[in-house]
Amino acid sequence: MTEREISPLDGRYRAQLAELPVYFSEFALMKTRCEVELAYLEALDRTGLFPALTDDERRRIENARTSFSDNDFARIVEIEREIHHDVKACELFLREKLELVQPNRIHFGLTSADVNNLAYGLLLTRFRDEQQLPRLRSLIEHLVDRVAAWKSVVFPARTHGQPASPTTLGKELAVFLSRLVRQAEQLEAHRFRGKLTGATGTYVAFVSAFPSFDWIAFSEGFVASLGLEPNRCTTQIEDHDTLAEYFAIVSRINNIVADLDRDLWEYLSRGDLRQISVDTEVGSSTMPHKVNPIRFENSEGNVAVSNALLHALSDKLTQSRMQRDLSDTTVKRNIGVALAHSHLAIGQTLRGLERFGVDETVLERAVNSSPEVLGEGYQTILRAAGVDDPYELLRGLTRGERPTLERLRAFVADLPVSDEIKERLRGLSPTGYVGLSETLCEAVLADAKAWLDRA
């Protein structure tokens, strides 16, 4: 690495993304194009429309699929440099490589968009299954551990930045856990669509050569064999709607992660949580005391870049002039950039989660410092007891004020309610006023663990 790369993905963050070039590189794309062409060759052979491949030809096809090399890629690039067409270069390379008796069956009836859309579908499916879902699983597992550990740890809540009814730290994290599990289920269930319909989506070249063959059934069976959902009716290009749907799921995951980042950043800045320092690190070039929540900040920044690209990709790729234009090809080369920034973001959040701790004494002190939050409980109990407009009674006592717990309990003495209601009111305390927080944590944990067991 020379540190002269244009993109930080290939420079500063290269080590954190070492596994992604397998999915998002020119090498990966060309290798997968060849894979599609080879699978198509074998599918054509099974139709009986051409003379059967020889055993030697089948071995050469298998070898080409399993041993695609740097030299193979270099040869394709060399051909492309001369003819200025990437998919055609792939076809010509395979003609050289395979030495078939009937090489015309290579790329038979296809347009480059047939090969490209299937290659991207394969690459994205593999990235989702092999990298994206496992990383999301790691984040969910981290949150499961923390929700379980902190489900009963009382935590100060704020609405509009002001003290509000307390909660538990576990419950606050359970909100993010619940949201992420829902999106993980959608991500896991998502299927990319693929097309094999020819130059303008009419199958006309196929039908012209073999009019009586069921090309629609063949096309849909081939696309399904690659793990993709067949798109029967298209223009020259696949419409990319399922790409946009996928980007929307990823964008929602990004937003949930950024929302978590910001909340944890706020908790750390207020002192509700404490950062764990590392002796060898520094937080400022001039202020030696600093320990900064840089991982959450880094994650938030990568989410911003990822989502900007995902939104641009969704808008662009679902629109095409007439049958197609080449602007989509240029744009699709940035899919990996968008997903890499999302991958980085989740990785940074995971690292941030490992670097903070909890001081329950500090949290209890913070919650007890705002006894006015019991005003909600007081007025709600009094409503149930039939007291006339208890909201106004408590508003006058607590709004904009910081009454002590003793003053609140003294307020109860003259209320026109039974002794049992008075005792219930006096029994309220800020640290005990957390409702069903623990129960909610248990329910979310059950859902999360069920998904983890299935995934």
CATH of the domain at 41: 1.10.275.10
In a domain, 129, yes or no: yes
Closest CA to 363 of 430, 448, 308: 430
| Strands annotated E in 182-289 | 193-194, 229-230, 274-275
> Which pLDDT band holds residue 1 (cuts at 50, 70, 90)?
very low
Residues 32 and 75 occupy one common structural domain: yes
Q: Based on the fold, state whether residues 43 and 179 are members of the same structural domain.
A: no
Distance (Å, whole) CA 10 – CA 5: 6
The verdict on 33 and 97 lying in the same domain is yes
CB 119 within 8 Å of CB 28: no
214 domain residue, yes or no: no
Q: Which of 235, 222, 18, 250 is nearest to 122 (CA)?
A: 222
The reply to whether 67 and 162 lie within a common domain is no
Q: Is residue 444 part of a domain?
A: no
Candidates 160, 212, 285, 289; catalytic one: 160
The verdict on 298 and 331 lying in the same domain is: yes
pLDDT at 278: 66
The residue assigned the tokens 């305390």 is: 429
pLDDT above 50 (res 331): yes
Q: Which band of pLDDT confidence, cut at 50, 70 and 90, is reported for residue 72?
A: very high
Total domain count for the chain?
3
Residue 356 and residue 243 share a domain = yes
pLDDT tens by residue, 258-281: 999 999 999 999 999 988 766 667
341 is catalytic: no
**Residues paired with residue 167 on neighbouring β-strands, in sequence order:** 155
Q: In this structure, is residue 27 part of a structural domain?
A: yes
CA dihedral 222, 223, 227, 233 (to 10 degrees): -150
Amino acid present at 370:
S
Lookup: tokens for 347: 């990785």
160 belongs to the catalytic site: yes
Q: Which of 330, 364, 398 is the last residue of a domain?
A: 364
Q: Which of 72, 105, 138 is the last residue of a domain?
A: 105
Q: Are 205 and 109 in contact (CB under 8 A)?
A: yes
Summarised one tens digit per residue, pLDDT across range 175-221 is 999 999 999 999 999 999 999 999 999 999 999 999 999 999 999 99
The CATH number covering residue 420 comes to 1.10.40.30
Convert the pLDDT of each residue in 3-62 to its tens digit.
Answer: 678 899 999 999 999 999 999 999 999 999 999 999 999 999 999 999 999 999 999 999
Residue 207 placed within a domain:
no
> Residue 282: what pLDDT?
63
Q: What is the mean pLDDT of residues 274-300?
A: 74
Q: Find out whether 236 and 203 touch, Cβ atoms under 8 Å.
A: no
DSSP letters of 59-86? HHHHHHHH---HHHHHHHHHHHHHH--H
72 & 174 share domain: no
The last residue of a domain, from among 105, 135, 158: 105
Bridge partners for 274 per DSSP: 357
Residue 256 and residue 373 in one domain: no
What domain range is 146 assigned to?
Answer: 125-192+238-364
Question: Which tokens hold the place of 97?
Answer: 């490589």
pLDDT, tens only, 145-169: 999 999 999 999 999 999 999 999 9
Given a contact cutoff of 8 angstroms between Cβ atoms, the answer to whether 291 and 275 are in contact is: yes
Distance CA 80, CA 303 (A): 35
Which candidate in 284, 327, 369, 418 is catalytic? 284
Question: Shortest CA distance to 355 belongs to which of 452, 454, 275, 252?
Answer: 275
